[in-house]
């Protein structure tokens, strides 16, 4: 047993007198970020931290206190502060710690010892390869921006007065950049390349660099098309931004607060039969995967929309108790300073059978959307969805020219119902949350141009 887990158990024992419920959450984090320009490191930051949060609940009243100082004196002051806060808090009948459940013993493939052992020089060399691949791809690529490599390790140690004890470690790494291209008319555009994984060997610097270059060149010299209703094909990075808003609408909290465009639609068909949406905290290699959530509840795979039918929402212990349901293991925490909050784990759309190329070949007229700007925004409460967009126009299944300066507008409800093809190229994007989406074809979208 680690010293941190032993500390968590000792604090639970000390603080749980007089029938109090006590939860101790200890986290240990290490992070590294490298930022580069033209092969030169502009910024390199490394940080490490640890800390403890103590949650005390008695008669529905909750107190929470935390510290980064794990000395004996500080630890005692922290749990006593949590006890005092719980004595003066407003009671809530649904506030309680979850009952313990067995944690499945399986390898979720979320920890990579090789990543922890790599030198900083190895990581800088990786980022140089990403940037070089982009800059050497085509003379029209004149620069890169926001060229970054990032990685980190998080270890969690938890115990509570109801008998739960658990620990795990998770690693993650990735790289991100924008390629900047200039056309003959002097106009400039940019588009991103991205890659991330829990394991070092799954990262490909040349793929990330090529993606940025290819996307940027494809929209260079774009101009608006006439305003019309047509099909759009969404690149994974665009689809992930839309699904991130959709995930916010599919929580029990959003339903209980009446802040979701899907309110009162459980059991109804809300999407085309091509759409199956999952929240899976046990996805092997997922950035949001863990054996248990921020309250010690086992994580699970929850089918939210199954072939178009809205079947479930996600729960933490509080919202589950309020609804008379069982937690889906979706209490998330941002380190020892934060209380558990309801949020997705790995939220993704099940991939289909077609390749991206096959989806594009089937489009008679439409827009392949490569990048968007949140002009009108995406609202999970009303379902409104409007974005500035750049991409490539499609005629009879072929790319015919770049498009820029247009907007795409629909609603989240209409988007779900008008998804007619789902690609086989699922990509996870831990930028907008841990969101995964393949290439999507959506029909009957308003494209606002000239």
Concatenated DSSP letters of 76-124: HHHHHHHHHHHHHSPP-TT--PPPP-PPP--------HHHHH--HHHHH
Instruction: Assign 375 a pLDDT band (cuts: 50, 70, 90).
Output: low
Bridge-partner residues for 347, per DSSP? 279, 435
CA 276 to CA 421: how far, in whole Å?
12
Give residue 2's pLDDT.
87
Give residue 376's pLDDT.
67
Contact 127, 191 (CB under 8 A): no
Residue 18 has pLDDT above 80, yes or no: no
Contact 257, 313 (CB under 8 A): no
pLDDT (mean) for 225-239: 97
Gyration radius of the chain's alpha carbons = 24
List of residues 6+ apart from 258 with CB closer than 8 A? none
Give residue 377's pLDDT.
85
pLDDT (mean) for 140-153: 97
CATH architecture of 3-216: 2-Layer Sandwich (3.30)
Decide: pTM greater than 0.85: yes
CA 285 to CA 337: how far, in whole Å?
26
Give residue 371's pLDDT.
92
Question: Which token pair is 345?
Answer: 């784990």
- CA 103 to chain centroid, in Å, comes to 23
Sole residue written with tokens 């926001």: 146
CA dihedral over 307, 281, 241, 392, signed as positive or negative = negative
Which of 248, 236, 267 has its CA nearest to residue 351?
236
List of residues 6+ apart from 398 with CB closer than 8 A? none
CA dihedral over 103, 106, 112, 116, signed as positive or negative = positive
Instruction: Assign 29 a pLDDT band (cuts: 50, 70, 90).
Output: very high
Residue 351 has pLDDT above 80, yes or no: yes
List of residues 6+ apart from 146 with CB closer than 8 A? 35, 176, 177, 178
Q: What is the pLDDT of residues 66-88, one digit of tens each?
A: 999 999 999 999 999 999 999 99
List of residues 6+ apart from 220 with CB closer than 8 A? 140, 181, 182, 183, 187, 189, 402
pLDDT (mean) for 298-305: 98
Contact 351, 300 (CB under 8 A): no
Give residue 432's pLDDT.
86
pLDDT (mean) for 362-378: 90
Give residue 1's pLDDT.
54
| Sheet order of strands, 434-437 included | 309-310, 301-306, 277-280, 347-349, 434-437, 427-430
Give residue 373's pLDDT.
86
Structural domain spans, the chain: 3-216, 222-450
CA 91 to CA 401: how far, in whole Å?
62
Residue 401 has pLDDT above 90, yes or no: yes
Q: What is the pLDDT of residues 310-336, one digit of tens each?
A: 999 999 999 999 999 999 999 999 999
Give residue 257's pLDDT.
97
For residue 252, the tally of other CB atoms under 10 A from its CB is 23
pLDDT (mean) for 388-416: 96
Q: For 188, which DSSP code?
A: E
Mean pLDDT (the chain, rounded): 96
pLDDT (mean) for 163-177: 97
- CA 439 to chain centroid, in Å, comes to 17
């Amino acid at each position: 047993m680690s010293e941190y887990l032993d500390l968590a158990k000792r604090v639970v024992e000390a603080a749980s007198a007089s029938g109090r419920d006590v939860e101790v959450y200890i986290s240990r984090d290490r992070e590294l970020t490298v930022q580069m320009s033209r092969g030169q490191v502009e910024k390199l930051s490394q940080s490490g931290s640890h800390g403890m949060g103590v949650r005390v609940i008695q008669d529905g009243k909750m107190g929470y206190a935390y510290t980064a100082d794990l000395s004996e004196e500080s630890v005692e002051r922290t749990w006593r502060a949590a006890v005092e806060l719980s004595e003066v808090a407003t009671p809530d009948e649904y506030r309680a710690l979850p009952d313990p459940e067995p944690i499945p013993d399986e390898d979720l493939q979320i920890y990579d010892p090789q990543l922890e052992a790599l030198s900083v020089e190895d990581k800088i060399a990786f980022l140089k390869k990403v940037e070089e691949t982009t800059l050497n791809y085509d003379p029209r690529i004149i620069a890169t921006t926001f060229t970054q490599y990032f990685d980190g390790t998080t270890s969690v140690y938890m115990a509570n007065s109801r008998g739960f004890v658990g620990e795990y470690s998770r690693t993650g790494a990735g790289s991100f950049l924008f390629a900047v291209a200039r056309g003959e008319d002097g106009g400039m555009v940019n588009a991103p390349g991205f890659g991330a994984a829990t394991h070092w060997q799954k990262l490909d610097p040349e793929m990330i660099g090529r993606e940025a270059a290819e996307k940027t060149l494809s929209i260079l010299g774009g101009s608006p098309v006439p305003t019309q209703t047509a099909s759009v094909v969404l690149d994974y990075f665009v689809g992930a931004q839309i699904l991130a808003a959709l995930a916010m609408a599919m929580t029990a909290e959003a339903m209980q607060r009446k802040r979701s465009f899907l309110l009162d639609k459980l059991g109804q068909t809300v999407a085309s039969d091509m759409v199956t949406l999952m929240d899976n905290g046990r996805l092997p290699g997922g950035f949001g995967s863990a054996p248990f959530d921020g309250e010690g509840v086992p994580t699970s795979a929850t089918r939210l929309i199954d072939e178009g039918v809205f079947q479930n929402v996600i729960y933490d212990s509080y919202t589950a108790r309020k609804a008379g349901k069982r937690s889906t293991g979706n209490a998330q925490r941002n380190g020892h300073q934060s209380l558990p909050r309801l949020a997705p784990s790995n939220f993704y759309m099940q991939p289909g059978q077609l390749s991206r190329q096959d989806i594009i070949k089937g489009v008679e007229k439409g827009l392949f959307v490569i990048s968007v700007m949140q002009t009108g925004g995406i609202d999970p409460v009303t379902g409104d969805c409007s974005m500035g967009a750049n991409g490539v126009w499609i005629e009879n299944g072929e790319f015919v020219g770049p498009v820029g300066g247009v907007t795409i507008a629909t609603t989240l409800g209409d988007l779900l119902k008008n998804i007619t093809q789902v690609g086989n190229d699922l990509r996870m994007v831990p930028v907008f949350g841990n969101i995964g989406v393949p290439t999507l074809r959506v029909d009957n979208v308003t494209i606002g141009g000239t």
